Amino acid sequence: MSQTTRLTDGRKSFEVKKYTFSTEVIPRLSCHDPECEERIENGLPVVIPDANLVASARHWNLDYLHDNIGDGKFMTYFSNSKKFKYYDDKKCPNIKSFKKPMEQEELTFDEFVKKINKGKSKGQRLYLQQTLNETVGKNIVSDFLGFNWNWVTAQQKKNSFGPLTNNMLLIGQEGNITPVHYDEQENFFAQVYGYKRFILFPPEEFPNLYPHPTYHPCDRQSQVDFDEPDFEKFPKFRNASGFETVVGPGDVLYIPIYWWHQVESIPNEGHTISVTFWYKGRPTPEKVTYPLNAHQKVAMMRNIEKMIAQALNNPDEVPEFMQNMVLGRYT
């Protein structure tokens, strides 16, 4: 029997699966609370219930989007399990034995809605993940313009984030899971419809989470499966300890750059709808201070790994090269 635990978003409470690691709750703070500002400034996650970032989209649901989103194409992922583990198509040739963990196809919104129902009979799940673009209909444009750009742009300026790179629309079936990974951008994650469980780990947890090599299609994703952790292969995963929360309609979660996150659409209203606000990170400071922080060290490791892979010009040679460099010398 798998154990469960209860999590709340402050309004509703949910029974969720209990994993092997311990977690603390991510603080939920008003956008007017100085502590909320402090956390964002210090690169710490916080749930903000009253930023009204996507209040203009509070009426969004599948029917409304179906009628208003237009005839554009939406990248949709198909998985035969609950998990949607991201992979980079361009890196697939680097690993000959790599089996794609999911399929992807660009669909119109109408096709997406129809395929959700077809998928159900085949035990196949869908997850739409598409950057909002100019193909959307006029009502969606108007909702988009009504986002609280004042608040989010003020945050960007105050915290010296780089430019906004995109707003990704995510529509997932309940039960869908985005396995644990980190992104190289700052993210104000806005929940529109339904509830999502977020499990976060700070960049310091890099050694406990065993990310795939940078040249692997699943770069930035952990190799550890939370449902069946292989402690022999990944012994330090026993030391992992994280943070978690549930976000519901109207909530914003600040996910700091390089913070690990697993995201689970909680079974409740059939599906979930979210919009991301991704920003480039802060510029590297002119005067570096020491010791470097964990996120700077992760960025450095990535650069060194990429340099080695590029210099060898053959991904197959990287593991032995890395081992020769480290094993028995630094271990």
173 binds ligand AKG (CB under 6 A): no
Among 48, 170, 209, 309, interactor with ligand AKG by CB under 6 A: 170
Nearest to ligand AKG of 39, 220 (CB atom): 220
Q: Does 276 bind ligand AKG (CB under 6 A)?
A: yes
Q: Which residue is nearest to Fe ion (CB)?
A: 183
**Nearest CA-CA partner of 253 in 42, 15, 26:** 26
Q: Are 159 and 257 in contact (CB under 8 A)?
A: no
Under the binding rule (CB under 6 A), the answer on residue 274 touching ligand AKG is yes
Between 263 and 266, CB nearer to ligand AKG:
263
Q: Does 183 bind Fe ion (CB under 5 A)?
A: yes
263 binds ligand AKG (CB under 6 A): yes
76 binds ligand AKG (CB under 6 A): no
- Using rule CB under 6 A, residue 195 touches ligand AKG: no
If the CB atoms of residues 169 and 240 are measured against ligand AKG, the closer one turns out to be 169
What's the CA gap between 139 and 36, in Å, rounded? 32
**Secondary structure (3-state) at 64:** helix
Cβ(251)–Cβ(202) under 8 Å? Answer: no
Residue choice 189, 206, 243, 254 for contact with ligand AKG (CB under 6 A):
189
Binding status of residue 227 toward ligand AKG by CB under 6 A: no
Interaction between residue 187 and ligand AKG (CB under 6 A): yes
Half-sphere exposure of 49 (CA within 13 A, CB side): 13
Stretch near Fe ion under the rule CB under 5 A, chosen from 9-17, 27-35, 88-96, 179-187: 179-187
Rounded Cα gap, residues 192 and 257, in angstroms: 22
CB of 326 to ligand AKG, least distance (A): 30
- Which ranges of the chain does DSSP label H, i.e. alpha helix? 34-41, 62-68, 109-122, 138-145, 149-158, 206-209, 294-312, 318-326
Looking at the Cβ atoms of 125 and 309, the one nearer to ligand AKG is 125
CA-derived radius of gyration, the chain: 20
| Pairing of β 186-193 and β 177-182 | unpaired
Angle between helices 34-41 and 149-158 (to 10 degrees): 50
For the bound state, the minimum distance from the C-beta of residue 84 to ligand AKG, rounded and expressed in Å, comes to 7
Establish whether the linkage from the previous residue to 45 is cis, with ω within 30° of 0.
no
Say which entry of Fe ion, ligand AKG, none residue 189 contacts (CB below 5 to 8 A, set by partner kind). ligand AKG
Residues near Fe ion, by CB under 5 A: 183
The footprint of ligand AKG (CB under 6 A) covers 170, 172, 178, 183, 187, 189, 196, 261, 263, 274, 276
